[in-house]
Amino acid sequence: MKSLCIFLLTIFYSAYGHSQTIFHPDIIEIDFHSGYLVKNYPTFPERLNDPYIIALHSGIRLNGSRFWHRFYSYPVFSFQAGFCNLGNDNVLGDVYFLVPELSFSQKAGSKFYVEERLGLGLACFTKPFEPVTNETNTLTGSRITFMPAASLVIGYAVSKSISVLANINIHHGSNSHFKLPNLGANIPSAGIGIKYSAHREEPVRNYDAFVTDKRFHFNLRTAVGINQRGGTTDYVGDKHYGIYLLQAYMSRNYHEITRYQIGLEAYYNSGVYDTIHTTTFYASNQRGKASSLLFILGHEFLIGHFSLCTQGGIFIYNPYHRAIQKIKHENNAITKMESLFLARIGINYYFKNAILTSHHQFFAGIFIKTNFGKADFLESTIGFMF
């Protein structure tokens, strides 16, 4: 979690540039949302009332002071600071969150416009699971979690500077299996808001054109993940296990801000090995059976030195999880998908500008890995693009 905090702060300073800061914002907005806490497991904490969210957005319009701003049509970069009451004060408590986000706007007439927003930040749960004092709150076993967020906003310009808004949103709080239990808080909501927009200098458009490198490049990436062994609603104490990962893939730029990946991934799970070894589930090749092999496809949105990376994978070799499903007669489609498909989302930092340089550079990153949407582990990574 500390590493992710550093990443988010670095993104903040990199994106804003030297002349733009949150203390001199172009955009100030306040929203009120009414939502619903999704029951995503048969055993779920009691919900007495529907949750509500109050959010404050403060940001700047990226004006071309960084090379990559123009390729995203000068979006708004902002921080969403919010408060969420989960609807059960004694058990679930409240959530405070801080989410860096990008907003992309399109006109829909002389007065109306539409915005899409995407963000990834951190949340603080005031009453996480406690084995003695709060054992029924299985949403999260940790106080600090990730908080991805997305919104679709319809705005109406009352004046040049003031807009009224209607929005639909989704907020998700999860610690990626770092501390059990971890059902996660999924909160779809709808709301209204009001936004003030300052009007300053026009975007800078004086960059020379350049030719994007569209050759294929070989990449190697290694990562270490951490999680706890157990079911989503289990309490297993403080013991954590390491997962060790290696990827080899080819990447190619599609255009200035988009890069695709294709390759193979292998990882070894020490928690699975511990279970296999303790129970003698397999008599031989125990470490091999605690390993997996996958075919992967990936995509990156390039943002200066950073990229937002998503990957999907198909398990070629995943013996232990498939054997457990067979023994437990877990035949429903969703459970089967968990042993077949992998997904991850994360942030990479490239030591050279990722848009200008597509080879011969190191990168580091933080990722959340899931099995068909079910949180599995948090990973820290380093790699090299040849």
pLDDT digits (tens, 9 = 90+) for 11-56: 444 444 444 555 688 999 999 999 999 998 889 999 999 999 999 9
Determine the Cα–Cα distance for residues 58 and 329; give it in Å rounded to an integer. 51
**Cβ atoms of residues 345 and 368 within 8 Å:** yes
Model pTM?
0.85
Confidence band (pLDDT; 50, 70, 90) for 62? confident
Domains in the chain, CATH or no CATH each: 2-197 (2.40.160.20), 217-385 (2.40.160)
**Cβ atoms of residues 152 and 167 within 8 Å:** yes
**Cβ atoms of residues 25 and 63 within 8 Å:** no
pLDDT digits (tens, 9 = 90+) for 310-323: 999 999 999 999 99
pLDDT digits (tens, 9 = 90+) for 145-200: 999 999 999 999 999 999 999 999 999 999 988 899 999 999 999 999 999 998 76
| pLDDT surpassing 90 at residue 211 | no
> Average pLDDT of 368-383?
89
pLDDT digits (tens, 9 = 90+) for 277-313: 999 999 999 999 999 999 999 999 999 899 999 999 9
Determine the Cα–Cα distance for residues 384 and 378; give it in Å rounded to an integer. 20
Confidence band (pLDDT; 50, 70, 90) for 209? low
> Average pLDDT of 99-117?
94
C-alpha dihedral, 60 to 65 to 67 to 70, nearest 10°: 50
